[in-house]
Structure 1
């Protein structure tokens, strides 16, 4: 276990493994670095892997908690700036330049950090869940999420996220009776950071095409072959927007992508290696 300190004094926990070009792994919502542990192991033969806990998760602190009472745009921009600084701190520890891979809202964070000038050699994102339509549902979710958290109802906030993410309500209710549920509930307070990465409180989670069109970093945009259509639609929109981006489908995978299936795609796509054995 290693630690780096972000610009606001937040101490971030990370694990380093392997050798080769640096790559930083960024987890999504209701998770910490353990979600990327298997992927880190698969990539360690090709990269020096930096797998870190985003602020408020796992072994990382949070010196600047999300301001639930602030206007959505103000609070979201502050949170996003802090998380971009966090990623920059990890990249600095990796030598000042690195690849970055993010899954789900973690992928949105990677794109936002790159747009804010974090020095990245290239990025890979898997199934960023940008909202279709006009963003009305995303704004409504953000309003309800922050209301529940202001009222101290973390369990209901976590359940809301899971339901909005597509988990059947009966399954969510069963999850709330499982021994692991307190670990899920403990991550509820950082759900607004995931919303900030996706822009739920501002644009409703719709991909910011106009702003991202100027992003000039090599990008590998991934979706799973067994995933719902909206993930593929979002991936194609991101790919069409970013100069030099390309979209690839990871065969047979859904949002819970297997590390063994994903790693060869990342190695080939980021390093240009044609041998997909890892």
Structure 2
């Protein structure tokens, strides 16, 4: 992978694939750039696709302390490598990060989001001490327990589904990246759609959700689209927290190139 140095000196690993207008893909919790391995070939014939490992994951570096501002600077560093401006597509907690970056003035030309991690009114909220409990589990050297806690209290998984994930092929990656879960928690803020902060954001924004996702994720997508003055929502075929890759690719290409 290529490397770029973020403003605080942290090395961020990225790749650029394809030709055409640049689009940066930004992942959510647990994963690195490889989450987009199936999506990149759908987009690369039409756009230059930039994927990168968020700090603390994959081939990217990290810093002794974390702030959301540093992650925003990482995204801007990748956009700078793409020519200084780019479309951004972000999912899950990555969508929360992308929104914060957009409001902070990152040079995003268009913003596409997939099911950001907001909890709208009428749905259970994460515990008030969610961040503290997560930190305590990690400090105790229990990354698996931290991953389980995140999935149960934020994502809303049942014990049975968590057990199924524990026995799946990706659980080792979940534990390996569990130390970054406080980063994803920080970018989510108070887990409420930042209506006032988004009121002045006029960049075109597309907010996507799957037709088979959780009710709280669907509600979060709808509320986010409503809060964006130049935003609109779109429901696409898929499964829980996932849109069919070929369809998602076509939508993103159309959004990025028109």
TM range (shorter): over 0.9
Distance in 2 between residues matched to 1:131 and 1:125, nearest whole Å: 16
Indicate the residue corresponding to 1:170 in structure 2: 160
Distance in 2 between residues matched to 1:177 and 1:126, nearest whole Å: 26
Sort the Cα spacing of 1:25 and 1:138 in 2 relative to 1 into closer, same or farther, 3 A: farther
Structure 2: state its 5+ residue gaps. none
Indicate the residue corresponding to 1:97 in structure 2: 85
Indicate the residue corresponding to 2:244 in structure 1: 258
TM, length-normalised to structure 1: 0.86
Runs of 4+ in 1 over 6 A off after TM superposition: none
TM, length-normalised to structure 2: 0.92
Sort the Cα spacing of 1:181 and 1:136 in 2 relative to 1 into closer, same or farther, 3 A: closer
Structure 1: state its 5+ residue gaps. 67-78, 273-278
Deviates more, 1:160-169 or 1:184-193: 160-169
Distance in 2 between residues matched to 1:268 and 1:180, nearest whole Å: 31
1:171-190 maps to which residues of 2 (within 5 A)?
171-177=161-167, 180-190=170-180
Matching residue within 218, 225, 231 for 2:217: 231
Deviates more, 1:90-99 or 1:180-189: 180-189
Distance in 1 between residues matched to 2:165 and 2:230, nearest whole Å: 41
Q: How many residues align?
A: 256
Indicate the residue corresponding to 1:195 in structure 2: 185
**For 1:92-139, what per-residue CA distance to the aligned partner results, in whole angstroms no more than 9, with x for missing partners?**
000100010001111111111111111011010001120123985253
Indicate the residue corresponding to 2:204 in structure 1: 218
Distance in 1 between residues matched to 2:223 and 2:167, nearest whole Å: 39
TM-align CA RMSD: 1.8
